[in-house]
Amino acid sequence: MPRGQGERGEVPFEYARVDLAAFGRLLHDLRVRAALSQNRLARLSQIDPAYVNRLERGVGAINHPSRLVVLRMWATLAEEGAADGTDRERLLVLAGLCPEVILGVGSWDAYLGRLMDVLSGREIR
């Protein structure tokens, strides 16, 4: 696996800005606001509860969480009324992933669309 590349071939948006400790604090705050336990968040998000625990503590996660994992947890928290679009973007950036708002830019320009595919890890060869 190339250096700086996630387990599923995802290339972080700005790898130097990955801050798993800050990601974990934000995730914890949102989960508490939603009045969910780690196990409940994990079950609703279809994620291993031990992984949610490691993410919140900012330890044991060698690679940043995948876009799918971040978006699943965010969707669960949003359904509980504890997270909004700004929180989604913050979680993605802290995990070292390209924010959704940036990915949307590519929808009106083919060159930017290709660049966003590469940055988001949707198309890595």
Q: Which fold has domain 15-120?
A: 434 Repressor (Amino-terminal Domain) (1.10.260)
Structure tokens at 13: 């948006």
Distance CA 46, CA 53 (A): 14
C-alpha torsion 7→8→12→18, nearest 10 = -40
Per-residue pLDDT reduced to its tens digit, 40-68: 999 999 999 999 999 999 875 556 789 99
**82: its two tokens:** 């504890």
H-helix or E-strand spanning residue 26: helix 20-33
Residue pLDDT, tens place only, 92-121:
988 888 788 776 666 667 777 777 667 665
CA 50, CA 107: separation in Å to the nearest integer?
37
